[in-house]
Structure 1
C-alpha cells in the first residue's frame, strides 16, 4: 500500500558542475547550495574540516566510502581519484564474483577512476559539521556504474524532449534488535519495534513520536525530505514517501534514505531492514516508483491530456506500454535478490504479471489520473531491496523505449489482477536465475543499458543464485534430515 505523491509543475534546480577549482571570496554556501568545485572547497575550508566523507554505491545499492583528508579531497575535486574496482566485483557479503569480465582475479582488481559530484554535498547530522559528497565511477568503469547508468538513461529521455521526475516510497521493518543480537538469534524470533498489525496508527506515531521526529529531521537535514510517514500493516513496519524531484536527484535521495535510516536505527539500538520479505507471516516490503514526464519545450505535462480517457496522453500510453512489455525482460534489475521472489506471490500487494490498471493497486503498473501537475504512473513492481538507481533506470528507460517504438499497452485490468488470466508474454520470471537469463537475452536492455552493463549485472545475479544453491537451509534439514 502507499500514499500518492504529487509531481511538480516546474523543473527542479539543475545540478550543474563547474570546472572552476579556485576558492573565491563569494559567500560560503550551505551544503545543498554547493554547485561547483569552488563551492565545495569554500564550505570545507569555512568549516575547518580536516576530513570529509566521500561515498558511492555498488551493484546492490550498498553505500561504500571513506573519510578523505582535505588535501586529498581538494585534489580529487580537481583531478578525480582512484577507488578499488572490487566494489563493482563483489556481492553484499564482500564475496568476489568469479564469472564477470569487467573485473575479477583476471584483472587484479585495479583502482578505477572516480569523480566527485559537488552538487551532492550533504550535512552529516551525527558528526558535528561533517560533510558527505557522493561520487560515481568514470571513464572505463562508468559502463557498469549504477548511478552513471541512470544518468545515461536520463540523457536519453532528455534527448527525446522530456524532463523526468520521480519519487520513491519505501516500506521497512524496524526491530528492537542490534546487529549482534540479530546474529546471535540466527535472525529468528526477532522482536519488532512495535507489536501487532496496526496500519496508519495514530497511537503508534504518537507514543513513539521521538523516533518519527528524528526520521523527519534527518530527512530534512540530508535533503531527502519525506512527504508522508506512517505505520504500515504489520509489526514494526513503517512507510515513507520521499518528496518528488528530478529523477537523478530522486535516485540520490532514495539511496541515501535507505542508508541513513539504517544508521539512525542502529544509533538508537534498533535495526531497520529493507529485505523484500523477511517473514512468511507478513507482507513484503515495497519500493514503489512514481514517474512523470514534462515537455522540455513548454514545461507542460507530457502525460496529461484533459479530454482523453483517464487523462492519458498518447505519450503516457506509449510510456506505459514500454514499461509493460519490457518488465519481464528487465525484472532482475528491479527484483535483484533471491529474497525478491518471495514477495512476488498473489495476495501480498506485489504483482505477478506485467499488468496495468487505473488506480488499481493489484496491478504491476498503476495509472494515476490527475492534472497537469499530478498525472503520473506508479511502477508497483519495485521492492525495497532494489538498487534505487537501477530501479529508476528500468522504470524510466523502459518507458522511453516504448515512446521511441510507438508501442501501445494491452488492456487495463479491472478488479483483482491476481485472479484474472493474462497473456503468457506478460508473465514475470519466477526466480532470479530465470530473470537473469531474460536480461541477457533482451535486445532492448542492451540498447538501453549497453552490453557491458547487461553482461556484468546478469553475471552478478547468476552468482547470487549460485551462492544460494550452495546453502543448506532450515527447511531442507527439517524436511529431509530424519525421514528421507
Structure 2
C-alpha cells in the first residue's frame, strides 16, 4: 500500500458495464481483499441512470437483500482517478450461499470459459476499443479540431502523444497489455488494440478497466472520453470489435488447418455466431443510441453475414499466418458491457461447434446490399427478440436474461416518456 493512499474504491461492474461501489478508508483494504464486502443485489441490475429496476423484483418484493461482493483476485489497481491515489479493488457478486449471481456478467463469462475448459479448450481473446475525445463544452469534433476525417493520421497521434503515453503507462502498471493506437475515421476518434490473451475473463476485466483509464486520463488532459456508439450523426460510430481463436490441450489453434480458409471448427464457430446473432442483438447494441451506429453505408454491420477480409460483414476472418487464424466479431458498440459481449460471442461459437453447425456461403461484396437476415434494426425489436430467445437463455443464463431484459424495458419506458426538443420544434407551432 502506498503511503499516499487514504482511501480506495471497492466496486462491482453492473449490467451496463458501469463500476458501482464504495469508497472505503485505506485501513479496510486487507479485509476487503480477503473477505469482500456486501452490497444490495439490486445494485448490479440498476438502469443506466442508477435507478433500481422494478422488473427484477429485488427491492420491495424481497427487502433489497444483500449479495456478497468478493475479490476477483486482481488486487488493487490504480486506474488514474485524478483526485489523489485512490486505487480500485474489483469485486464480483455472489448470493448469500456463495453461488454465482448471474446478473453479474463476469459470472456469465466465467461459466462460458468453464464450458470450453470441460472440453479441453481455451479461447484466446483480444478486444479493440474505440472512443472519441470530446470537448467538455460540448462542441462537436468539427469545431473542436481540424474537422477532417483523416483516418490513420500520424499527425493526430503526434498531437495527442502525451495523452496516449499516459494511457500506455497507466495500463502497463495495471498489467493491461496494449498494442497499437490508431487515429480512426473521424476527428479525435481513436482506437486501442489490446493484446491477445488466453484468459477471456481477464480480457474483459482489462477492457473494462482500460476504458476507465482512458476516461481518467482524458479529464487530466482537458477532454472527455466518449464511448457512445454513435455520438455524432455525421461521423463514424465507435465499436468494440472482438478477435478470438481457440486452443486445444496441446496449445494448437483449432481454427488453423494450414489453409487461408481455416478449419471445420472455425466454420462451425462462425455458424453458431450467425445462428444466434439476431436474437442476441441486444447484447451488442444495448442502448437507444447503439442502433444509430448499425446502419447501412458504414462499416458497422446490419446483416447476419460472414466473410474473409470483408469489413462490411458482421463476422470477418482476417488474413494472416495460419497459427493466428481467428474470427473477428464486429457487431458490438463501444457502449456494450465487455463481459456480456465476450460471453455471448464465445458461448455462441461453442454452441455452433458442439452442434457442428454449417454456415451459409461467405460474403465477398457489400453485405448491407444483400438479401440476408438482419441484426435487430432498433432497440425495441432487439429487446423483444432477446427476451423470447431460448438460445440467449441457453448461451448466457436465464437469470441474466430476465434481469437484463427488465433493465432495458425500464430504460425504454423512461425514454418513451420524454418530450424532446426536436419533438417540440416539430409540433409546437405546426399543429
- TM-score surpassing 0.5? yes
The residue number in structure 1 matching 2:63 is 108
SS at match of 1:109: coil
The residue number in structure 2 matching 1:447 is 394
The residue number in structure 2 matching 1:215 is 167
Separation in 2, partners of 1:430, 1:305: 36
Could you tell me whether the CA contact under 8 Å between 2:13 and 2:44 is conserved in 1?
no
The residue number in structure 1 matching 2:300 is 350
SS at match of 1:144: coil
Aligned: 1:92 with 2:92: no
SS at match of 1:122: coil
The residue number in structure 1 matching 2:211 is 258
The residue number in structure 1 matching 2:246 is 293
1:231-246 equivalence runs, <5 A: 231-245=183-197, 246=199
The residue number in structure 2 matching 1:336 is 286
Q: Which moved more, 1:266-275 or 1:116-125?
A: 116-125
- CA drift of 1:72 comes to 3.1
Separation in 2, partners of 1:192, 1:219: 27
Check 1:454–1:350 CA distance in 2 against 1; reply closer, same or farther (3 A cut): same
Aligned: 1:147 with 2:101: no
Could you tell me whether the CA contact under 8 Å between 2:280 and 2:385 is conserved in 1?
yes
- CA drift of 1:215 comes to 2.2
SS at match of 1:113: strand
Check 1:189–1:174 CA distance in 2 against 1; reply closer, same or farther (3 A cut): closer
Could you tell me whether the CA contact under 8 Å between 2:272 and 2:351 is conserved in 1?
yes
The residue number in structure 1 matching 2:124 is 165
1:41-440 equivalence runs, <5 A: 44=1, 51-101=7-57, 103-125=58-80, 130-139=86-95, 142-177=101-136, 181-182=137-138, 191-192=143-144, 195-245=147-197, 246-295=199-248, 297-307=249-259, 310-422=260-372, 426-440=373-387
Could you tell me whether the CA contact under 8 Å between 1:323 and 1:395 is conserved in 2?
yes
- CA drift of 1:190 comes to 8.7
- CA drift of 1:130 comes to 5.0
- CA drift of 1:205 comes to 1.7
The residue number in structure 1 matching 2:413 is 466
- CA drift of 1:129 comes to 6.0
SS at match of 1:157: helix
Q: Deviations over 1:77-128 (max 9, x none)?
A: 3333201233223212122222223x23322323211111233542345577
Q: Which moved more, 1:79-88 or 1:437-446?
A: 79-88
- CA drift of 1:226 comes to 2.0
Could you tell me whether the CA contact under 8 Å between 2:141 and 2:187 is conserved in 1?
no
- CA drift of 1:154 comes to 0.9
Check 1:49–1:269 CA distance in 2 against 1; reply closer, same or farther (3 A cut): closer
Deviation >4 Å, runs of 4+: 46-50, 124-130, 187-191
Aligned residues: 426
Check 1:124–1:383 CA distance in 2 against 1; reply closer, same or farther (3 A cut): closer
Could you tell me whether the CA contact under 8 Å between 2:79 and 2:212 is conserved in 1?
no
Separation in 1, partners of 2:228, 2:101: 27
The residue number in structure 2 matching 1:15 is none
Structure 1 alignment gaps of length 5 or more = 1-43
SS at match of 1:303: coil
Q: Deviations over 1:176-226 (max 9, x none)?
A: 22xxx44xxxx8799545532111111122233222222222222223232
SS at match of 1:324: helix
Structure 2 alignment gaps of length 5 or more = none
- CA drift of 1:150 comes to 0.9
Q: Could you say what the CA RMSD is over the residues aligned between the two structures, in angstroms?
A: 2.1
Check 1:483–1:380 CA distance in 2 against 1; reply closer, same or farther (3 A cut): same
